[in-house]
């Protein structure tokens, strides 16, 4: 390859309903590396983009929540496979976006791949951990099972733009929810590239929708949206989190509040359980 | 021919209601600091039963302070010791269950048959169940050593006063929390009697505090900065207001709110059993049930047959004295609730649905509403969308299972649902598709302390009952 060859840059786009649209607003914002060098122009998602993403997520919910847990597990594992194959690209994007050394960025990307694998294995187990056969005092079959909450809005962490994003997104979809994710504002590029991985992993369109832009601008629309069932406020600062939790009360969204996180630690089941409902079914026993 | 029944009243002499009650704070009854009181009346007779204190802000402060002080020792007790207190409470409730049943029927208006055979057995069972968890929390799936949250502020409704108290207090204490509980304004008495049971059980002072009062007392309690956990059962409207109050405070919140459950009857269902289930679903407790089967979805092909049988059955329901052992439907809990039921029923007629109620003589004093059925109801009608919380059933029809699911789920609520069919695979298919926290198939309105209860969507979040019910009171 000639040293003088000019590289072909990627136009980073949103990922909504399995497609890669630009923001309907036509807005972009400049994404730079830690030293302030230009990396790309990312779409600055708008209220309309958020609403389109919710429509796509709702449309995908029936199929994804109705898919077998085994099937969901295989697709999550496929995501890990696809990601592994594009490891170098993500190492570069994470290193540039988060100002990490190549080796540190590689460790982050490896952890993100492994996280998909970890959650792939959970899809057909969490129901066994969280469900119950209840010994009621009467002649009734009584079974509690888990079901996904629905459409979940996720404000991904601002600092950990890739491992953090995967850590909040994977458990949401592992359990059969569909997601609208708002990326780290400062470093949206790995998340936007993840959309390309998701698009080639047999994940049905609309299960994950990725919006880049400002949590403070898009968040309020998602928190107030009546067709969003839950919201993860991890990427919101304290003031924004309070405002969004207040707005979320309007249709009683399930709210996951921001807390201290160590993205390198094993996640536990909290995030899987946060967006699961428990359904209890009764039936008489008799001949 | 109709059978005549002689009156068969349960004796009131088993319960001794004092003319007035204070607030139960730090193990003692005391008047509200500003001396305010209000009367609680029997909804079946409008007789004043007692005068209770109206807790104000300073009383809320005192109760939370007492609970905070008690928390240190209570949470440090070995779980096995907490368990024994709860077992004691369960046993004393069993001993005093007739007294409490009569009291509940007097203050709430519900038939003695229900308070005696449903509420009280479930209350005792709930304490007995959670007692056993107190020293086994490390096995509950929340880590090896899960911790209590601290002081729980609990606000409960008037439809099952003592049962809702049990659902709130039993798991809270088992997990090592202390509580400040506010019973509903119209049904304060059984909670005050429960305070006496705490005394008899030797429960350390301050572990349970009972504040009587109106909505303002509840609002002050949930907003109190030293409360770590808020649990509310009641209307969706108030639940949303509480969620807004709690936002940003970090307090753990569980809400058990309204419902508009579909009770779905397929053409192959055994009609007689379905009719019993429909009646139980909507007329149990005068329809003052958040999970009531208030929308009957009947398959078009059996609509006529089912409605005829249902009307016949409704004609045999006995409305009247809650203390009469033959009474099926007691008094509406308050004048305010009666007005709400009347207004919504009137809207049903005004919007074009057909109203039917059996001929039935209602007592001249107290608050009463005859069991009522609306046919020709469309999904747009208010009586198909809004929670009536009374003995009013809205009948809609469907042709296919898919249509039944779509109509059943067409509500912001998601607390419960019913399915009546003989086909097992259809039950499971329907149960899977219905967006509701509790699904009763070929039965309705069944409850058990081991069985998680709670809603989807705007019916709230969190579960009460079972292992799941511990989570609301643990720092997990």
Residues A181-222 have pLDDT tens digits of 999 999 999 999 999 999 999 999 999 999 999 999 999 999
> Is A252 in contact with B460 (Cβ distance < 8 A)?
yes
ipTM higher than the 0.95 cut: yes
Which of A:69-108 have CB within 8 Å of B?
A: none
Q: Answer yes or no: is A175 within a domain.
A: yes
Residues A216 and A238: their CA atoms lie apart, in Å, by 11
Where do the domains of chain B lie, and which CATH numbers do they carry? 12-257+456-473 (3.40.605.10), 262-441 (3.40.309.10)
Residues B262 and B436: their CA atoms lie apart, in Å, by 10
Known active-site residue B464: no
Residues A149 and A65: their CA atoms lie apart, in Å, by 9
Q: Answer yes or no: is A103 within a domain.
A: yes
> Is A279 in contact with B461 (Cβ distance < 8 A)?
no
Give yes or no for a contact between B49 and B17, defined as CB atoms under 8 angstroms apart: yes
Question: What six digits make up the tokens of A261?
Answer: 């996180």
Q: Which one of B244, B255, B451 has the shortest CB-CB distance to A136?
A: B451
Q: Answer yes or no: is A13 within a domain.
A: no
B476 vs A contacts (CB less than 8 Å) = 270
**Which pLDDT band holds residue B422 (cuts at 50, 70, 90)?**
very high
Residues A258 and A272: their CA atoms lie apart, in Å, by 16
If DSSP codes are grouped into helix, strand and coil, which group holds residue B208? strand
Facing residues of A113 across strands?
A: none
Give yes or no for a contact between A23 and A14, defined as CB atoms under 8 angstroms apart: yes
> Is B468 in contact with A132 (Cβ distance < 8 A)?
yes
**Which pLDDT band holds residue B256 (cuts at 50, 70, 90)?**
very high
For residue A2, pLDDT beyond 90: no
**Which pLDDT band holds residue B407 (cuts at 50, 70, 90)?**
very high
> Is B446 in contact with A144 (Cβ distance < 8 A)?
no
Which of A:20-49 have CB within 8 Å of B?
A: none
Closest to B407 measured CA to CA, from B260, B240, B193: B260
Q: Answer yes or no: is A20 within a domain.
A: no
Residues A126 and A139: their CA atoms lie apart, in Å, by 28
If DSSP codes are grouped into helix, strand and coil, which group holds residue B254? strand
Facing residues of A153 across strands?
A: A180, A231
Q: Which one of A136, A249, A279 has the shortest CB-CB distance to B247?
A: A249
| A277–B contact, CB cutoff 8 A | yes
> Is A252 in contact with B236 (Cβ distance < 8 A)?
yes
Nearest-10 Cα torsion for B43, B46, B49, B51: 100
Mean pLDDT, rounded, for B91-101: 98
The 10s digit of each residue's pLDDT in B319-357 is 999 999 999 999 999 999 999 999 999 999 999 999 999
pLDDT at B179: 98
Q: Which residue has the tokens 């209602």?
A: B362
Sign, CA torsion B451/B454/B456/B461: negative
Mutate to test the interface with B, among A151, A281, A284, A287 (most CBs of B within 10 A): A281
Sequence-distant (6+) residues with CB within 8 A of A63 are A204
For residue B202, pLDDT beyond 80: yes
Q: Answer yes or no: is A164 within a domain.
A: yes
Closest to B421 measured CA to CA, from B394, B400, B450: B400
> What is the 8-class DSSP label of residue A251?
G
> What is the 8-class DSSP label of residue B12?
G
Mean pLDDT (chain B, rounded): 97
> Is B451 in contact with A277 (Cβ distance < 8 A)?
no
Give yes or no for a contact between B177 and B148, defined as CB atoms under 8 angstroms apart: yes
Give yes or no for a contact between B172 and B122, defined as CB atoms under 8 angstroms apart: no
Q: Which residue has the tokens 């449309």?
A: A59
For residue B162, pLDDT beyond 70: yes
Which of B:246-285 have CB within 8 Å of A?
A: 247-248, 250, 255, 257
What values do phi and psi take at B329, rounded to 5?
A: -125, 120
Nearest-10 Cα torsion for B276, B281, B284, B288: -160
Q: Answer yes or no: is A101 within a domain.
A: yes
Residues A163 and A191: their CA atoms lie apart, in Å, by 10
Q: Which one of B438, B448, B467 has the shortest CB-CB distance to A132?
A: B467
Q: At what angle do helices A238-248 and B236-246 cross, to 10 degrees?
A: 180
**Which pLDDT band holds residue B305 (cuts at 50, 70, 90)?**
very high
Residues B226 and A31: their CA atoms lie apart, in Å, by 44
DSSP codes, B285-338: GGG--TT---EEEEEGGGHHHHHHHHHHHHTTPPBS-TTBTT-SB---S-HHHH
> Is B248 in contact with A238 (Cβ distance < 8 A)?
yes
Residues A181 and A199: their CA atoms lie apart, in Å, by 15
Task: Spell B113-132 as b/e; 16+ CB within 10 A means b.
Answer: bbbbebbbbbbbbbbbbbbe
For residue A89, count CB atoms less than 10 angstroms from its CB and return exposed for 0-12, middle for 13-18, buried for 19 or more: middle
Residues B403 and B409: their CA atoms lie apart, in Å, by 10
pLDDT at B2: 58
> Is A245 in contact with B248 (Cβ distance < 8 A)?
yes
Residues B387 and B178: their CA atoms lie apart, in Å, by 33
Which of A:206-245 have CB within 8 Å of B?
A: 229, 238, 241-242, 245
**Which H or E run contains B194?**
helix B189-201
A229 vs B contacts (CB less than 8 Å) = 457
B239 vs A contacts (CB less than 8 Å) = 252
The 10s digit of each residue's pLDDT in A134-154 is 999 999 999 999 999 999 999
Q: Give the residue on A whose Cα is nearest the Cα of B445.
A: A282
Question: What six digits make up the tokens of B310?
Answer: 């249902």
Closest to A283 measured CA to CA, from B430, B189, B205: B430
Mean pLDDT, rounded, for B138-164: 97
**Distinct helix (H) and strand (E) counts, chain B:** 15, 18
**Which pLDDT band holds residue A287 (cuts at 50, 70, 90)?**
confident
Q: Answer yes or no: is A93 within a domain.
A: yes
> Is B442 in contact with A283 (Cβ distance < 8 A)?
yes
Cα Dmax for chain B: 65
Sign, CA torsion A135/A138/A139/A145: negative
Structural domain of residue A66, as residue ranges? 28-284
Q: How many domains would you assign to chain A? A: 1
Give yes or no for a contact between B330 and B109, defined as CB atoms under 8 angstroms apart: yes
The 10s digit of each residue's pLDDT in B361-385 is 999 999 999 999 999 999 999 999 9
Residues B436 and B409: their CA atoms lie apart, in Å, by 8
What values do phi and psi take at B254, rounded to 5?
A: -130, 140
pLDDT at B182: 98
Residues B162 and B156: their CA atoms lie apart, in Å, by 9
A282 vs B contacts (CB less than 8 Å) = 438-441, 443, 446, 451
For residue B1, pLDDT beyond 70: no
Residues B474 and A126: their CA atoms lie apart, in Å, by 20
| B437–A contact, CB cutoff 8 A | yes
Residues B186 and B183: their CA atoms lie apart, in Å, by 8
Mean pLDDT (chain A, rounded): 97
Catalytic residue chosen out of the listed positions B10, B104, B256, B458: B256
Residues A44 and A29: their CA atoms lie apart, in Å, by 6
Facing residues of B182 across strands?
A: B155
pLDDT at B49: 98
Give yes or no for a contact between B243 and B441, defined as CB atoms under 8 angstroms apart: no
Of all residues in chain B, the percent with pLDDT exceeding 90 is: 98
CATH of the domain at A76: 3.40.605.10
Q: Give the residue on B whose Cα is nearest the Cα of A278.
A: B437
A134 vs B contacts (CB less than 8 Å) = 448, 450-452, 466
Q: Which one of B255, B436, B441 has the shortest CB-CB distance to A283?
A: B441
Q: Which one of A144, A246, A284 has the shortest CB-CB distance to B442?
A: A284
A138 vs B contacts (CB less than 8 Å) = 446, 448
* Contacts A–B by Cβ distance under 8 A: 105
B456 vs A contacts (CB less than 8 Å) = 149, 277, 279
Of all residues in chain B, the percent with pLDDT exceeding 70 is: 99
For residue A1, pLDDT beyond 70: no
């Amino acid at each position: 390859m000639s040293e003088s060859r000019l590289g072909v840059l990627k136009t980073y786009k949103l990922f909504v309903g399995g497609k890669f649209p630009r923001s309907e607003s036509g807005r972009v914002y400049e994404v730079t590396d830690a030293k302030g060098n230009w990396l790309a122009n990312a779409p600055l998602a708008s209220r309309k983009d958020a609403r389109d993403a919710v429509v796509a997520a709702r449309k995908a919910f029936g199929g994804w929540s109705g898919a077998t847990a085994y099937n969901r597990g295989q697709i999550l594992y496929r995501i890990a496979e696809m990601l592994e194959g594009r490891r170098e690209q993500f190492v570069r994007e994470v290193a540039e976006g988060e100002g990490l050394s190549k080796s540190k960025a590689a460790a982050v990307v490896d952890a993100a791949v492994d996280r998909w694998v970890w959650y792939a294995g959970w899809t057909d187990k969490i129901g066994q951990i969280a469900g119950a056969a209840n010994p009621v005092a009467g002649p009734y079959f009584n079974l509690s099972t888990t079901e996904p909450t629905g459409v979940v809005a996720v404000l991904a962490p601002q600092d950990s733009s890739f491992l953090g994003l995967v850590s909040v997104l994977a458990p949401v979809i592992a359990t059969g929810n569909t997601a609208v994710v708002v990326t780290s504002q400062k470093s949206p590029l790995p998340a936007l590239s993840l959309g390309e991985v998701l698009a080639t992993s047999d994940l049905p369109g609309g299960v994950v929708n990725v919006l880049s832009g400002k949590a403070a601008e898009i968040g309020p629309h998602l928190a107030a949206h009546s067709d969003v069932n839950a919201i993860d406020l991890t990427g919101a600062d304290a003031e924004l989190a309070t405002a969004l939790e207040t707005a979320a009360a309007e249709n009683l969204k399930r709210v996951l509040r921001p807390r201290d996180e160590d993205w390198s630690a094993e996640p536990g089941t909290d995030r899987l359980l946060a967006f699961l409902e428990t359904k209890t079914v009764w039936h008489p026993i008799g001949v | 021919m109709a059978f005549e029944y002689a009156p068969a009243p349960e004796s009131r002499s088993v319960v001794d209601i004092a003319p007035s009650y204070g607030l139960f704070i730090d193990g003692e009854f005391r008047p509200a600091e500003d001396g305010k009181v209000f009367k609680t009346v029997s909804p079946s007779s409008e007789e004043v039963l007692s005068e209770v204190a109206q807790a104000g802000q300073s009383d809320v402060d005192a109760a939370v302070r007492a609970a905070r002080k008690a928390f240190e020792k209570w949470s440090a007790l070995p779980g096995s010791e907490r368990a024994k207190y709860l077992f004691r409470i369960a046993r004393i409730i069993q001993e005093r269950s007739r007294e409490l049943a009569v009291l509940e029927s007097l203050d709430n208006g519900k038939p003695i048959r229900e308070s005696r055979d449903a509420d009280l057995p479930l209350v005792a069972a709930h304490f007995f169940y959670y007692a056993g968890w107190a020293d086994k929390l490390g096995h509950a799936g929340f880590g090896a050593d899960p911790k209590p949250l601290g002081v729980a502020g609990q606000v409960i409704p008037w439809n099952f006063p003592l049962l809702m108290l049990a659902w709130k207090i039993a798991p809270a204490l088992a997990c090592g929390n202390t509580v400040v509980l506010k019973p509903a304004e119209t049904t304060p008495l059984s909670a005050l009697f429960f305070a006496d049971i705490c005394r008899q059980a030797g429960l350390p002072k301050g572990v349970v505090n009972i504040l009587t009062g109106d909505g303002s007392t509840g609002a002050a309690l949930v907003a109190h900065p030293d409360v770590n956990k808020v649990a509310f059962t009641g209307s969706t409207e108030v639940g949303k207001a509480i969620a807004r109050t709690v936002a940003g405070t970090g307090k753990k919140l569980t809400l058990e709110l309204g419902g508009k459950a579909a009770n779905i009857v397929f053409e192959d269902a055994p009609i007689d059993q379905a009719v019993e289930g429909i009646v139980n679903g909507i007329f149990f407790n005068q329809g003052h049930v958040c999970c009531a089967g208030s929308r009957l979805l009947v398959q078009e092909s059996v609509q006529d047959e089912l409605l005829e049988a249902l009307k016949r059955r409704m004609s045999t329901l006995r409305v009247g004295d809650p203390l009469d052992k033959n009474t099926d439907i007691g008094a509406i809990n308050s004048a305010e609730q009666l007005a709400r039921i009347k207004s919504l029923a009137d809207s049903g007629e005004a919007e074009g649905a057909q109203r039917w109620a059996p001929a039935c003589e209602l007592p001249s004093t107290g608050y009463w509403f005859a069991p009522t059925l609306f046919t020709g109801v469309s999904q747009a009608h208010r009586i198909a969308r809004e929670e009536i919380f009374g003995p009013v059933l809205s009948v809609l029809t469907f042709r296919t299972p898919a249509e039944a699911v779509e109509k059943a789920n067409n509500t912001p609520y998601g607390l419960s649902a019913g399915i009546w069919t003989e086909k097992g695979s259809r039950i499971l298919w329907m149960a899977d598709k219905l967006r509701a926290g509790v699904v009763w198939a070929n039965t309705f309105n069944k409850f058990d302390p081991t069985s998680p209860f709670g809603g989807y969507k705007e019916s709230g979040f969190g579960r009460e009952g079972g292992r799941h019910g511990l989570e609301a009171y643990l720092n997990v």
